[in-house]
Amino acid sequence: MEIALIKGDGIGVDVSDAMMTIVDRALVRCAAPELAYTQIQAGAAYFKETGNDIEPGGEEKAGEADAIFLGAIGLPSIRHDNGTEISPHLRIRDRFGLYAGVRPIKAYPNSPQRLADPRAAAIDMVVLRESTEGLFYSAAAHGRSVIIGDSEVQDTLRITRATTEKLHHFAFKLAQKRKSRGKPGKVTCVDKANVFNSMAFFRKIFDEIAPQYPDIETGYNYVDAQALDLIRQPWEFDIMVMENMFGDILSDLAGGLVGGMGMAACAEIGDANAMFQPAHGSAPDIMGQDKANPLAAIMSGGLMLDYLAEKSGDESIRSAAVLIDQAVDTGFAENLLRPMEFGGDMGTLAITEALLSILQR
């Protein structure tokens, strides 16, 4: 199977290398087919060098692969003239319809617990972020913002029935999978349906689809109340489905509850393509210094294996995905993973080596 690999900028290089090391070892341990990586140049540094944000034909190559893995994109010192980031990954999401942004949020033992309530130690939920529409619709390509001289800008928020139906079906099917593994199996629709027509439409479609999944509990929350509840009672939620910008914000908030962005794995899945990436930034201040926490990238690699197993029907690949999850669980439970991000003494290489040792058990 072929993986289109975009290491990108900053620590994207470091964490991508760690991901490949762990994913490849897990596949060997499970006697699963190996992956072939085709590297594609893209990002802010490439833009500075060439004037292009991705190499010629790079998007096409990404679309032809079985999956795409992205390390990190963007550098604060390199922007477009209007101040926006270099972001070819937004265009890739848009081009290949990667509508389902899956952001797992899980607390691990011996990792920072930001909430004093002991129930916070059992946080295990998913922010499901629609990734092609919403307010980000204006950012993915030119012509979706209206700029009126130097006095006004209007960005378009778009919600379509076709994409929203697919997103809600994805949410309920994911809830069924989680329920079969002992999770609550509940989907909460997060919106602002009391104010915006777009959000009322989003909820209306949710209500049309929910009866097709009678085994799954449903709930509702306005986005501001959801932000409050993620601090007050995050253990009450399983899957939260929401618009793009809401998901961008709340997934970072939720990630902060379980340590930080170094634990924020992400899958962006469409009907025929998928991209996997840590949700953190490029952190150029620590690039190449062996300080980055690679766990978000490694766990994103696990999500990638789970997707490839679903796509191919190969259970040995799924076993490798499970093995990575178990290795991270074991590493924290036995205090073998102590990222510098959390005040620990382990950088990128040490964390990778620790996981390799666990995988050998």
CA atoms of 138 and 129, how far apart (whole Å): 16
Going through 208-321 in order, the beta strands assigned E by DSSP cover 217-222, 239-242, 267-269, 274-276
- DSSP secondary structure letters along 107-129: --TTS---SSSGGGGG-EEEEEE
CA dist list (Å): 50 to 54, 77, 147? 9, 16, 27
What is the spatial distance between Cα 162 and Cα 251, in angstroms, rounded to a whole number?
Answer: 24
Instruction: Map tokens 């989907």 to a residue.
Output: 187
User: In angstroms, rounded to a whole number, what is the distance separating the alpha carbons of residues 268 and 8?
Assistant: 17
Residue with tokens 């994913």, as numbered in its chain: 23
Residues with active-site annotation: 137, 192, 224, 248, 252
The DSSP H or E segment spanning 168 is helix 161-180
- 134-143 contact pairs (CB < 8 A, 24+): 134/158, 134/159, 134/243, 134/244, 134/245, 134/246, 134/247, 135/243, 135/244, 135/245, 136/90, 136/244, 136/245, 136/248, 137/244, 139/84, 139/87, 139/90, 140/90, 140/91, 140/93, 140/94, 141/91, 141/94
268 backbone dihedrals φ, ψ, rounded to 5°? -125, 110
Beta bridge partners of 79: 85
Sign (positive/negative) of CA torsion 274, 275, 278, 279? negative
